[in-house]
Amino acid sequence: MLLGAIADDFTGASDLANTLAKGGMATIQFVGTPTDAAPADCEAGVVALKTRSIGKDDAVRQSLEALAWLKAQGCRQFLFKYCSTFDSTPEGNIGPVAEALLDALDAPIAVVCPVFPATGRTLYMGHLFVKDRLLSESGMENHPLNPMTDPDIRRWLRRQTKGDVGLLAYDVVRRGSEAVSAALAEEGRSGRRLVVVDAVTDEDLRTIGKAIADHRLVTGGSGIALGLPDNFRAQGLLSGRAAALPPTPGPACVLSGSCSTASRAQVADYAANHPALLVEPADLLAGSMTTERAVAWVEEHWADAPMVYSTADPHQVAEVQKVFGRERVADAIERFMGDLARQLAAKGLTRLVVGGGETSGAVVTALGLSSLRIGREIDPGVPALAADIGRPLGLALKSGNFGTVDFYDKALRMLEQP
Ligand code: ADP
């Protein structure tokens, strides 16, 4: 393994893994820190933790555990991935984790760059913008867990750290990677080990990526990874076999628990040409719909790649939530989808496409998946995946509003012959 990443949440890890795979690295996303060694052909490993909003001591301990495992896999460079809106509190966890990783790696310096231009997150003079608004006026100031009330990332981070925090401003970034390297070295000499670096475009991120080729630790959003694969490629270290997944012909199924606008259109499109079973939350809660029934129905329709869905319109969702309670409904559906995936896997399922972020999380947990190999992108932000369940399982995990209207069909075709 060349590059080892530690991500503070699951979807952030997926996003980073997708970026690295697109950059041409053979990438695997690990669910938690593994105990076994990584496959020999893995060039970039992304360990997905859930440390964004837990106590800072626990976050530091888990991050150091992940680092120790990545070091044991022979990684040359390490990346700490957090949210591009810098989700944290005055206590942490970004600062304490970054400093602990610097110490453990005996590294003199690391950049701090939560920039993701594709989603409008840019940084100028150390101030983070979400599209045309400062972070603290973007809605993030009302976040239930980590209200972001200060857009000055240098000042916000300094509240979390032991050491001083530096700033590398945009005019330097625009002068190119040599200027960035020199300025970072200067910051390091001044004893500022964490340096907030401005960036506005993908090109800026590539410039920074090139400048930090020999940094042991990099920190940022998934955008900071854009320039890193090229550094390994320039050294002749990449196999060029990234994204090669095993074909998984055979029984296929779509599970959709997402109720977002794109998902509703995708479900309607797929149901027009495939058997589709609607699962009503009320039936689940009353016990008149069970996993066993759904499994039997899917088995009857295996040949036609059936879909089981709870996807509903907003007014239906609101109504059922009013009667039974939001959490109770969500729990019932997520447990059902997870159980269904597990039972179908036991019966020989080889391809599974899941609609919904939370729904995907429930399915990954229920299947007990510990790693996901990242393949080609099906649609922007949604790669084909392969898991090992004693045999290869082709997977696509699509959250909310991703994907074109024919996503489900397209995903199943791509997984059949990646
Ligand atoms: P998305 O990625 O679109 O946000 P998620 O799977 O993350 O999708 O979230 C959808 C949530 O809505 C899940 O918690 C799911 O259990 C719940 N849900 C799914 N179908 C229904 C329904 N018919 N009524 C109420 N809640 C639902």
Q: What is the pLDDT of residues 403-417, one digit of tens each?
A: 999 999 999 999 998
CA dist., res. 372 & res. 28, Å (int):
6
The boundaries of the domain holding residue 372 are 252-416
Closest atom, ligand 1, to C-alpha of 333: 16
Dihedral angle computed from the Cα positions of residues 310, 311, 312 and 313, in that order, rounded to the nearest 10 degrees: 170
Look up tokens 């809605």; give the residue: 139
84 C-beta closer than 6 A to ligand 1: no
Q: List Cα–Cα distances, 177 to 128, 172, 213, 245, 393, in angstroms.
A: 22, 9, 10, 35, 42
Residues 185, 106, single domain; the answer is: yes
pLDDT of residue 142: 85
Closest atom, ligand 1, to C-alpha of 334: 16
pLDDT of residue 145: 81
For residue 331, report the distance from its CA to the centre of ligand 1, in Å. Answer: 10
Mean pLDDT of the 342-369 span: 94
Dihedral angle computed from the Cα positions of residues 6, 19, 203 and 139, in that order, rounded to the nearest 10 degrees: -70
Residues 267, 337, single domain; the answer is: yes
pLDDT of residue 108: 94
Residues 275, 180, single domain; the answer is: no
Q: What is the largest CA-CA distance in the chain?
A: 69
pLDDT of residue 53: 87
Question: Would you give the end-to-end CA distance of the chain in angstroms?
Answer: 23
CA dist., res. 75 & res. 193, Å (int):
21
Residues 218, 286, single domain; the answer is: no
Residue 219 near residue 77 (C-beta atoms within 8 A): no
Percent of the chain at pLDDT > 90 equals: 89
Q: What is the pLDDT of residues 278-309, one digit of tens each?
A: 999 999 999 999 999 999 999 999 999 999 99
DSSP structure class, residue 237 = -
Q: What is the pLDDT of residues 132-188, one digit of tens each?
A: 999 999 988 888 788 999 999 999 999 999 999 999 999 999 999 999 999 999 999
Contacts of 303 (CB under 8 A, 6+ apart): none
CA dist., res. 192 & res. 143, Å (int):
30
Residues 171, 300, single domain; the answer is: no
Contacts of 392 (CB under 8 A, 6+ apart): 245, 246, 248, 350, 386
399 C-beta closer than 6 A to ligand 1: yes
Q: What integer best gives the mean pLDDT of the chain?
A: 95
CB-count exposure of residue 253 (10 Å: 0-12, 13-18, 19+) = buried
Of 201, 234, 267, which closes a domain? 234
Look up tokens 């709870």; give the residue: 310
Residues 57, 138, single domain; the answer is: yes
Q: How many domains in the chain? A: 2
For residue 272, report the distance from its CA to the centre of ligand 1, in Å. Answer: 22
Residues 28, 154, single domain; the answer is: yes
Query: For position 391, which CATH number holds?
Result: 3.40.980.20
Residues 123, 204, single domain; the answer is: yes
Residue 110 near residue 215 (C-beta atoms within 8 A): yes
Q: List Cα–Cα distances, 260 to 58, 60, 145, 321, 357, in angstroms.
A: 34, 35, 23, 16, 11
Whose Cα sits closest to atom 19 in ligand 1? 257
pTM of the model: 0.91
150 C-beta closer than 6 A to ligand 1: no
Residues 324, 203, single domain; the answer is: no
Residues 199, 257, single domain; the answer is: no
319 C-beta closer than 6 A to ligand 1: no
259 C-beta closer than 6 A to ligand 1: yes
Residues 224, 256, single domain; the answer is: no
CA dist., res. 37 & res. 75, Å (int):
12
